[in-house]
A and B are shown apart, each in its own frame.
Chain A
Amino acid sequence: MSLLSLEGVSRVYATRRGLFGKPVPVRAVDHVSFSVAPGRTLGIVGESGCGKSTTGRVALGIERPSEGSVTFEGATMPMPGTPEWRRMRARLQLVHQDPLGAMDRRLTVAAQVAEPLEIHGIGDKAERTDRVAALLRDVGLRADLAERHPHELSGGQRQRAVLARALATDPALLVADEPVSALDVSIQAQVINMLTDLQEARGIAMLFISHDLKVVRQVSHEVAVMYLGRIVEQGDPEAIFADPLHPYSRALVSAIPVPGPRRIERIVLSGDPPNPADRPSGCAFHPRCPLAVSACRAEVPELKAAADGRQVACHLVEAA
């Protein structure tokens, strides 16, 4: 039984080139399907502009999919802005990349953590105060920081405060969009550990979006690698990181810095990621792929089950 499932979801934006140019459709997300079970974490990795964040926003229901459907707890995602949509916000929460931007700089931390409780009418005043104190303790913020304003906190403390706010309504799903990429490495580890501890304690499902493969490997139960709006490989993180099947995953994994002598040859991709408005024919990765054959230029590879239950979208990988 899955908590959240996306079925063939695409998100198309129209961009205009120049003042009188024709609008060009850009497929930021293209036929993405996955599901997240309660208490599990799906990590989404990929380079900038590959549609990770858009996927997260569609999964949250902030954006409508242009095609396909999003189902959460067995029901289709309602239209944004409707009362049902607003009520549903208590169950789905977002952890932002930029905690300072996500907080109202005029309100104290305590007031902001109490905000979702007020919005959804949970508890009376005294209960809310207790609950806010408990939440701040859970995310490891000192009680005296409650009366501070966001700009008086450090980056790690701010991210903890944003997390406390996201957890206030006991959500079933947390979408973490690059939650630690703005923090320095030592703080990253603390926040990640806290996130996984809280997830285990509360049984929250998580969609963890990041470009940092090491972090994704640490937190995820399943990983999806995205390239230009499509999932190219999906499966168990240990299997993918030990033996990536798709050439793009291979290049990504080889880019992870390792201490000591390198076991795998570093694959440096040539060229830039292609423009999503001008998608290459066939497999979108073929212009940069070192192994591309003629079929790659003509046919879009489907996501097929490969060995050990993994799914890979590549013509050169044998189907299981």
Chain B
Amino acid sequence: MSEQVLPAVAAPPKRRVAIPPGVALAMLWLLAMVTIAVLADVIRPYGITAMDLRSRLQPPVGFGGGWLHPLGTDELGRDVFSRLIESIRMSLMIAFGATIIAAVFGTTMGFLAAHFRGWVEQAVLMLIDFQASMPFLILALSVLAFFGNSLPLFICLMGLYGWERHARISRGLAIAANAQGYAAAVRQLGAKPLRIYLKHVLPNIASTLIVAATLSFPEVVLLESGLSFLGLGVQPPMTSLGNMVGYGREYITRAPWIMLSPCVVIILTTLSVSILGDWLRDRLDPTLT
């Protein structure tokens, strides 16, 4: 059999996949957001607490305002554009940080449950049920009330939001994978559990986890705004997108631009993350391309 001469066939050309325009726009937007977040201190024209009481509630350019404050000013005469830039940095940090923490923690717990089964699984499931049955707002309130509010604590707390979803998904998919051929086959080859889970199970279920993460990203942004609105999230003078929306609400009839500009940023960012996540899921699956 091995002597048989096999005809050489040219390897198929590597497929180049064009990026659809919607995805390209989403990528551009997210890139811009990340750049703004990184360079916030450089591009911000005014300090976020710099008040200019003579030009309070000035409309943006195009609505009767001047170029001095391109997105207008708020009730204390603070530049909305500068505050928006600072808010983008704060909200992105919280949302990305929290989503990553939730995904990593949840997936780890799910894998532990799927691997050990027995009482470990029962304990993880109990934690999941606890998390799912408890309104997160109440949990957040009590934690913030007892431990005070600091930014790292707040990010970690947000990271607790949505971990149970990742844990459930990864547990279910890992159990299915272990029962299916490929994970059992690799186990039979003598692989250690860490290799099975990281090299085989995780890439195979990553598409579902990415979709779950892109769903929880906007929710974290909204949750952060909700908590900030209640005065429990980002504390003034620091600012975040949700914080801006919350305080701008009072001026919705007289100066809608205060809350409209952060709203637009929230909508576009969450939409971009969803579009990008959807596209990534398809790209990560070699059977679909």
B partners with A: yes
Binding site for B on A (CB under 8 A): 60, 62, 86-90, 93-94, 96, 98, 100-106, 115-116, 119-120, 137-140, 142-144, 147, 149, 151, 165, 193-194, 197-198
The answer to whether B6 has its CB under 8 Å from any CB of chain A is yes
- Is A119 within 8 A of B188, CB to CB? no
Which stretch in B65-73, B179-187, B230-238, B253-261 binds the other chain?
A: B179-187
B180-205 with Cβ < 8 A to chain A: 180-182, 184-186, 188-192, 195, 200, 203-204
Question: Could you tell me the distance in whole angstroms from the C-beta of B181 to the nearest C-beta in chain A?
Answer: 3
The docked-state distance in angstroms from the alpha carbon of A67 to that of B280 is 51
Question: Could you tell me the distance in whole angstroms from the C-beta of B17 to the nearest C-beta in chain A?
Answer: 15
- Is A105 within 8 A of B204, CB to CB? yes
The answer to whether B133 has its CB under 8 Å from any CB of chain A is no
The docked-state distance in angstroms from the alpha carbon of A94 to that of B188 is 8
- Is A104 within 8 A of B286, CB to CB? no
- Is A147 within 8 A of B189, CB to CB? no
The listed residue with most B CB atoms (<10 A of its CB), out of A62, A102, A138, is A102
Number of A-B contacts (CB under 8 A): 81
Question: Could you tell me the distance in whole angstroms from the C-beta of A57 to the nearest C-beta in chain B?
Answer: 10
- Is A89 within 8 A of B189, CB to CB? yes
- Is B6 within 8 A of A142, CB to CB? yes
- Is A151 within 8 A of B189, CB to CB? no
The docked-state distance in angstroms from the alpha carbon of A162 to that of B190 is 15
B19-73 with Cβ < 8 A to chain A: none
Question: Could you tell me the distance in whole angstroms from the C-beta of A99 to the nearest C-beta in chain B?
Answer: 9
Question: Could you tell me the distance in whole angstroms from the C-beta of B5 to the nearest C-beta in chain A?
Answer: 10
The answer to whether B145 has its CB under 8 Å from any CB of chain A is no
The listed residue with most B CB atoms (<10 A of its CB), out of A106, A165, A197, is A106
Question: Could you tell me the distance in whole angstroms from the C-beta of A21 to the nearest C-beta in chain B?
Answer: 22
The docked-state distance in angstroms from the alpha carbon of A7 to that of B70 is 86
Chain A residue with the shortest CB-CB distance to B177: A104
- Is A103 within 8 A of B189, CB to CB? no
Q: Hey, which chain B residues are within 8 Å of A142, CB to CB?
A: 6-9
Question: Could you tell me the distance in whole angstroms from the C-beta of A80 to the nearest C-beta in chain B?
Answer: 9
Question: Could you tell me the distance in whole angstroms from the C-beta of B52 to the nearest C-beta in chain A?
Answer: 57
Q: Hey, which chain B residues are within 8 Å of A62, CB to CB?
A: 188
Known contacts A140-B1, A144-B8, A147-B11; is A105 also within 8 Å of B286 by CB?
yes
* Main secondary structure on A side of the interface with B: helix
The docked-state distance in angstroms from the alpha carbon of A90 to that of B184 is 15
Q: Number of residues in B with C-beta < 8 Å to the partner?
A: 28
Question: Could you tell me the distance in whole angstroms from the C-beta of A51 to the nearest C-beta in chain B?
Answer: 19
The answer to whether B10 has its CB under 8 Å from any CB of chain A is yes
Q: Hey, which chain A residues are within 8 Å of B192, CB to CB?
A: 86, 119
- Is B181 within 8 A of A89, CB to CB? no
Q: Hey, which chain A residues are within 8 Å of B182, CB to CB?
A: 101-105
Q: Hey, which chain B residues are within 8 Å of A105, CB to CB?
A: 182, 204, 286-287
Instruction: Pick the contact of B1: A60, A93, A197 (CB < 8 A).
Output: A197
Question: Could you tell me the distance in whole angstroms from the C-beta of A77 to the nearest C-beta in chain B?
Answer: 14
Q: Hey, which chain B residues are within 8 Å of A116, CB to CB?
A: 189-190
Q: Hey, which chain A residues are within 8 Å of B203, CB to CB?
A: 104, 106
Instruction: Pick the contact of B6: A88, A119, A120, A143 (CB < 8 A).
Output: A143
The docked-state distance in angstroms from the alpha carbon of A72 to that of B69 is 81
The listed residue with most B CB atoms (<10 A of its CB), out of A98, A115, A149, A194, is A115
Instruction: Pick the contact of B190: A120, A137, A144, A194 (CB < 8 A).
Output: A120
- Is B1 within 8 A of A96, CB to CB? no
Q: Hey, which chain A residues are within 8 Å of B189, CB to CB?
A: 89, 93, 115-116, 119, 165
Q: Hey, which chain B residues are within 8 Å of A106, CB to CB?
A: 203-204, 285-286
